[in-house]
Structure 1
Amino acid sequence: MNRNVLSLAIAAAVAVSATSAQAYEAGDFIFRGGIASVQTDVDSGGLKTNGVEDKNATVDVDNDTQLGLSFTYMLSDKFGVELLAATPFQHTLTGKGNLAALGDIAEVKHLPPTVSLQYYPMDKNSKFQPYLGLGLNYTVFFSEDFKGAAGDSFRDLELDSSMGLSGQLGFDYRLNENWAINAAVWYMDINTTAKFKDSDGNRYKLDAELDPLVYMAGVSYKF
């Protein structure tokens, strides 16, 4: 009888220990990686030439998919701080309306580092761990280059960096103590102004709201 009781006690202790080891707790680091896709929702202003706007001269911006990475530090069982990063996204700017004849105007790259405060509503031992996040995005543009016919007419393209709010919804489904399947989506408030010139000294500006949804699917690793 004593041996049976002892065996049950040891088994219970091992089960509790295993459950505890799988928990999301204060001090945990969670690394997430996967395929990230930026799906833009472009609202373009009109092209301004020396301050005069042509509302029918606008642009569109295509989507891109790259490697997405994020790092979360758990402040408690319910709250974590996340840094989102990625390999550079590349987008093509295409003329619309009175700029349509130029076709693909330019290519630009950007990085969208984002810091979010996350909330995990489920019990810390649950295998399914949904989370919500609210944060701040800073998007920096670089490698701005004109293409095709636009490259023959324009030069010195620059896109302003952007800072705005972001919202996040995601989940982990834990496979074991360390590994989980992950999926997440962010909304990012990204606005920029493109500035450039031509060889005659004319100056151009164009405002655009990109406001993408960023989808990521992959795995997470807790340590």
Structure 2
Amino acid sequence: MRKILRSLAILAVSAGSILSYVPAQASEAGDILIRLRGIGVIPDDGGNTTIGGKPNLSNSYVPELDISYFFTKNIAVELILATTKHNAKVENINGGGTADLGDVMLLPPTLTLQYHFTNFGKFKPYIGAGVNYTIFYNADGANGLDVDYDNNFGAAAQVGVDYELNDAWSLNLDVKRLWLNTDASINGGAIKGDVDVDPWIVGVGLGYRF
């Protein structure tokens, strides 16, 4: 993640130095904004299992692509595309034990409807809300365990800001919260879990509008 952020920062500073003399312009109806972000996906774990303890998914740091379409200068929709890998555990079993459930991949396409504020000069803050559908795949159970996760819908909320370098390029900071739950089944249902993933998604990146 540090390497991703460092590369994005260098690219952003270079772009700003070269392009900042061009006047910034607000987005208009029909504009498309494409961003490349480095994101951290940080689960806010909760839930329970039939053997006690608390489910836990590790953090994950990956690149992400998102696309926004502007219906007006203020109203847009955004679709994010990324996939993450997490290690799954059950912690504090019987007061202290931990069970390693192996790794699982998440594909969480998220669609949000956004309102972009346009009265702060080059700073373009926005808020959004929408829906997420997370696909759990490539579950690789540790120690021979067979682990299965149910795909599920969840709600999404978002706040962020674009800083316009010119009429095309911008820097971006974005924070999302997903409310996501999945049912886990281990060894054909011998052990079951109700897992609240509820991740925070924090991203920084560079955008191009056309």
SS in 2 for 1:206: strand
- Superposed counterparts of 1:12-27, under 5 Å: 22-27=25-30
Give the greater-gyration-radius structure (CA). Answer: 1
Q: Of 61, 71, 76, which aligns to 2:67?
A: 71
Is residue 183 of structure 1 aligned with residue 173 of structure 2? yes
Contact between 2:54 and 2:90, CA under 8 Å: does it hold in 1? yes
TM-score relative to the length of structure 2: 0.83
Identity %: 32
Gaps of 5+ in 2: 1-21
SS in 1 for 2:187: strand
Tell which deviates more after alignment, 107-116 or 97-106: 97-106
Query: What CA RMSD, in Å, does the superposition of the two structures yield over aligned residues?
Result: 1.9
- The corresponding residue for 1:5 is none
Measure, in 1, the Cα distance between the counterparts of 2:99 and 2:109: 30
Measure, in 1, the Cα distance between the counterparts of 2:38 and 2:181: 24
Is residue 169 of structure 1 aligned with residue 159 of structure 2? yes
Letter in structure 2 aligned against 1:40: P
Quote the offset at 1:145 in angstroms: 1.1
Measure, in 2, the Cα distance between the counterparts of 1:137 and 1:46: 24
Q: How many residues align?
A: 188
- Superposed counterparts of 1:1-223, under 5 Å: 22-47=25-50, 54=51, 56-86=52-82, 88-98=83-93, 101=97, 103-123=99-119, 126-148=121-143, 151=144, 154-155=145-146, 157-197=147-187, 203-223=190-210
* Cα deviations by residue, 1:108-161 (Å, 9 ceiling, x for unpaired): 0001101111001224x931100000100111100001113xx2xx32x21001
Which portions of structure 1, spanning 4 or more consecutive aligned residues, are displaced by more than 4 angstroms?
99-103
Contact between 2:100 and 2:142, CA under 8 Å: does it hold in 1? yes
Letter in structure 2 aligned against 1:215: V
Gaps of 5+ in 1: 1-17, 48-53
SS in 2 for 1:35: strand
TM-score relative to the length of structure 1: 0.78
